[in-house]
Amino acid sequence: MTAPKSDLKPNSLEYETQPLVTANGFREYDARWLFGKEINLLGVQALGLGLGTYLHELGVSPRVVTGHDFRSYSQSIKQALIIGLIEAGCEVHDIGLALSPVAYYAQFALELPAVAMVTASHNENGWTGVKMGAKRPLTFGPEDMSRLKAIVLGGHGEQRPGGRLVRVGDMRARYLDHVSKGHKLSRPIRVVAACGNGTAGAFAPEALRRVGADVIDLDTALDWNFPRYNPNPEDLHMLKAMSEAVRANGAELCLGFDGDGDRCGVVDDRGEEIFADKVGVLLARDLSARHAKAKFVVDVKSTGIFETDPVLKKNGVTVDYWKTGHSYIKRRTSELGALAGFEKSGHYFFNPPHGLGYDDGIVAAIAVLEMLDRAGGKKMSTLVESLPKTWSSPTMAPECPDERKYAVVDALVAEYAALEARSERVLGQKIVRLVTVNGVRVVLEDGTWGLVRASSNKPSLVVVVESPASEAKMRAMFEDIDARLRKHPEVGAYDQRI
């Protein structure tokens, strides 16, 4: 295999005859590039050969599920990936147009160990990527991605005989049967299904109708131009549309899905967004009422209510705060045998009997509807109001170069650890706990906390703050973190601030 180049120019002989793959596309737990600028089709083929080579290296059976999301270029990218996998001697089972959770489900349905799902997830048009795994229901972590990167960029992919392609034409139907089986609402809950014209439009509305919901479609027609907004339930434009649709249609809630359907966002009956970690607390209440001593995994960006909620305490719940990232939470949920895992970005992971362990926005949406169905006629907003009051920030992302962001975070970890060791106060309070599995989460005596970590996907940091005491304390926690970040000139502007 020829080692890929990193600086080929489009519309040139070299671009048409040599693979282009830039190193930055290999992220902590998946791969994402700007198609054309950072990877070309020959580069995708090299990625497929490298992935197939790595599967052989791992000693797993080289049998792989492939699928693609609904973008104008995704099918071409997947076909190039398939060529590379077949070159590596892999048996490729292609399920066609799919959501990421449909590809994960296909691993179980077809009894295949590996998956390579072509998707840019919620990223804007122009991006592409691949979500990969070699042991269901898990996806690759940092060690896997580092090794794959070395194989691909080093030109170490190995051609092997025996590769072939199997086309699977019925996976959409099988998936819809799977997610709806055994679920039936007692009443037709009126729900808006928002899909941003992304791939979920071909799956989510029908799945919700099958369980008995009264579904109002919002941007469910597939359109790879994404004419209204990007399919991302954290995007302010999509949230505004979701809110307006709830009010206009008298719906009880809106459920929004991202581009590859592995995340779910929720807007209540008043048109107010519910942060996904708060939805997670409500789901944990509902699940733990039916499963004694339930264990849950949540990411470090998530609300402190998981530890303080009296309902969860009464139900004997234990909670593990872990690294942000769908691959990390998925793996941790599996390792601990937790009932479910929740990530603030809207990834929900349900282990048996409620799911197969991977993140699935449609499975999460059905769980939310069933929770509301069991609530005895209470509105979604009423359920939210029953939670302990906190003041929370959105997820903020100050700019910071990829090559510097981890050093900045390490500096803040050391700074807060030194404060704790010297028993110095922050906002006039003792530091009662530092969670350092992923950056640093600083917890104060009154429950106020702040988090700084490096983004896994972008040249930025991640900052989140919350306080159960007051909005002023929440803002003061942000100011404390921000003042420490401002000591580092490489930290730039925020995408949004409180």
Query: In which band, very low, low, confident or very high, does the pLDDT at 102 lie, cut at 50, 70 and 90?
Result: very high
Q: Of 206, 201, 218, which Cα lies nearest the Cα of 178? A: 206
Query: In which band, very low, low, confident or very high, does the pLDDT at 394 lie, cut at 50, 70 and 90?
Result: confident
Q: Average pLDDT of 256-276?
A: 97
Between helix 361-373 and helix 171-180 the angle, nearest 10°, is 30
H or E stretch covering 150: helix 142-153
Q: Which two tokens mark 185?
A: 């609402």
Domain ranges of the chain: 13-170, 182-385, 391-485
Q: Are 65 and 105 in contact (CB under 8 A)?
A: no
H or E stretch covering 128: strand 127-133
Over 80: is that where the pLDDT of 1 sits? no
CA 172 from centroid of its chain's CA atoms:
21
Helix, strand, coil percentages, rounded to 5, for the chain: 35, 25, 40
Q: Verify cis geometry, omega within 30 degrees of 0, for the bond prior to 161.
A: no
- Rg, the chain, Cα only: 23
- Give the amino acid at 168: V
Query: In which band, very low, low, confident or very high, does the pLDDT at 457 lie, cut at 50, 70 and 90?
Result: confident
Q: Of 418, 424, 473, which Cα lies nearest the Cα of 304? A: 473
CA gap 115, 92 in Å, rounded:
9
Instruction: Specify the higher pLDDT residue, 235 or 384.
Output: 384
Say which CATH topology domain 13-170 has. Alpha-D-Glucose-1,6-Bisphosphate; Chain A, domain 3 (3.40.120)
Residue pointed to by tokens 């906190």: 390
CATH of domain 182-385: 3.40.120.10
76 classed as catalytic: no
Q: Are 302 and 344 in contact (CB under 8 A)?
A: yes
> Are both 13-170 and 182-385 of the same fold?
yes
Over 90: is that where the pLDDT of 28 sits? no
The one-character DSSP state at 232 is -
User: Which of 6, 12, 76, 121 is the catalytic position?
Assistant: 121
- b/e code 434-466 from CB counts within 10 Å (16+ = b): eeebbbbbbbbeebbbbbbbbbbebbbbbbbbb
CATH of domain 391-485: 3.30.310.50
